[in-house]
Chains A and B, each alone.
Chain A
Amino acid sequence: MQHLANLTDVRGRAGESAIEVDRLSHVYAGPDGGVPALVDISMSVGKGRFVVIVGPSGCGKTSLLMMMAGLRRQTEGTLLCHGRPILDPDPERVGVIFQEASLFPWLSTLDNIEFPLSLRGTPREERRGRSQAMLSLVGLEGFGHRYPHELSGGMKQRVSIARGLVQDPPVLLMDEPFAALDEQTRMTMGHELLRIWSTTRKTVVFITHSLTEAVYLGDEVLVMSARPGRLIDHIEVTLPRPRTYEMMATDVFGRLRDRIWQQIRKTA
């Protein structure tokens, strides 16, 4: 655990926010005025913070993330990233990591990681340099020339994280990135993510439906209600950094997890 950086300087100064959501609502078009999916969401994610959004499935948390990524447009309210509205995907500001690793099977690991750079015509040598660096950051040196079908589920998700980080966006959005992994891999990956986060100093918005994952990873946990999704609680995780597996057995951890569960249960 010693290799984890001191995180106090990673967290941004108070008041400096990476993402600002203001009275955001979303209605899916349909008969009778449509189906409300998100209702009056306001939140702020401080620079360098690790913020987890939890909620029951179908609560609209993925929709919210898609809007932060510029992949979907909300029907109401504003969304700012580093002070500017998010209207379209902007990989310079925001990197997205999806539940499925979604690697391109026709590209090698390195080419997958370089994909975002190749879209922008980054010169080949620079691309190689950066993708190699990302590859070692996620602990996959030596796998650069393998193809996705030769990698395990955890390794694929590591490559996907490397791909999301390669353009060095200040904000990383993660949509249940470890949900498809088995429990043990999931624990290791969570731990790995904290290590990567501590070295890259990104702002992370992490979506999950796992209460344990939420408390273990986050600086703050935002709890969403069942559909239509609203924010019903905001919890500061008081556990110190670096986090350890042993913390999961502590009273504080249990109380935090229980509080989230009680909130979700009320609305279900």
Chain B
Amino acid sequence: MTRAQIILVRLALLALVLGAWEVLPRTGTINPLLLPPLSDVLATLANLIGRSSVQEAVAVTAMEVVVAFIIAVPLGAAAGILIAESEYLGQVFKPMLFYVFSIPKSIFLPMFILVFGIGFEQKVAYAAFTTAFVVLMSATAAVESVRPDHVLVARSFGATRAQILRRIYVPSMLPILLETLRIAMIFNFTGVMIAEMYASRTGIGHLIANWGENFQMPQLFAGVIVLSAVAILFNEAVRALEEQCSTWRT
């Protein structure tokens, strides 16, 4: 199949899903109270986007996501590299971290509320906490993917420590690290959402949770659309960064 054909099929599938969303509630096949027709949801969405309270909520959520990401990635990466590189630190912390990694992080949410309240800091702290773990684990794997024979070859050619780091470690680790960024963003966004839905005064997560509790289905679905748009935007931003790095790599 040509690329054009594949795109055509994709669009057809999308149209089918959206069409069903419109038609099925209207015909009563699906209860419109549970799934309002697409046109109703879009009308609500247009209305909501105009409201300053919603705009503010989106801005707050986006800010939380960005700040948490900026904190979590270097922190997790540094910790992961230290643990992988230092035999001592690795032996001390590795088992501990692997056990903690297996625990669902959301059970720590009440503790974060006690320490940070239910504002901006708590969202950032909780999301950064969950994300740093993912980055840490991947960074460890990335360091372990550096082949000792490559390091030995570089040393035999008289490479300095800095050169080994830049010329061997970085390119060896890059594929895993780039992949990590995207996965980290997904975890990061999820962390912010969970924190917002659990206890908050603003943010998209908070709005969606409220609408759900109050059975305001058009608003709820409009919120989901907004949230999806923001999440896809972030994912694409990280992917653009990834592509930037891979062109540099070659």
Contacts and interface: CB of A to CB of B under 8 A. Distances in A.
A197 interface: no
A120 B174 CA distance: 24
B171 A89 contact: no
Given A98-B149, A100-B149, A102-B149, A119 B156 contact: no
A71 B155 contact: yes
Contacts of A90: 158
B158 A89 contact: yes
- Interface of B, secondary structure class, is helix
Contacts of B150: 102, 104
What bracket does the count of chain A residues touching chain B fall in? 10 to 19
B243 to A, nearest CB: 16
Contacts of A71: 152, 155-156
A106 interface: yes
Contacts of A118: 167
Contact of A119 (B147, B152, B163, B249): B163
Interface string A73-103: 0000000000000001111000110101010
Contacts of A69: 156
A102 B155 CA distance: 13
A119 B174 CA distance: 20
Q: Which of A98, A102, A118 has the most CB of B within 10 A?
A: A102
A111 B31 CA distance: 64
Contacts of A12: none
Nearest to A115: B157
B250 A116 contact: no
A167 B156 CA distance: 12
Interface residues of B, number: 19
B153 interface: yes
Given A104-B171, A106-B249, A119-B167, A98 B158 contact: no
B159 interface: yes
Q: Which of B153, B159, B163, B168 has the most CB of A within 10 A?
A: B153
Interface in A100-134: 100, 102, 104, 106, 115-116, 118-120
A90 B155 CA distance: 9
Interface in B145-178: 147, 149-150, 152-159, 163, 167-168, 171-172, 174
Contacts of A95: 156
Contacts of B250: 106
Interface of B: 147, 149-150, 152-159, 163, 167-168, 171-172, 174, 249-250
14 contacts: A71-B152, A71-B155, A89-B156, A95-B156, A98-B152, A98-B153, A102-B149, A102-B152, A106-B172, A115-B154, A115-B157, A119-B154, A119-B167, A120-B158
Interface of A: 69, 71, 88-91, 95-96, 98, 100, 102, 104, 106, 115-116, 118-120, 167
Given A102-B147, A106-B172, A106-B174, 18 more contacts: A71-B155, A71-B156, A89-B155, A89-B156, A91-B156, A91-B157, A91-B158, A96-B156, A98-B153, A102-B150, A106-B249, A106-B250, A115-B154, A115-B157, A116-B158, A119-B158, A119-B163, A119-B167
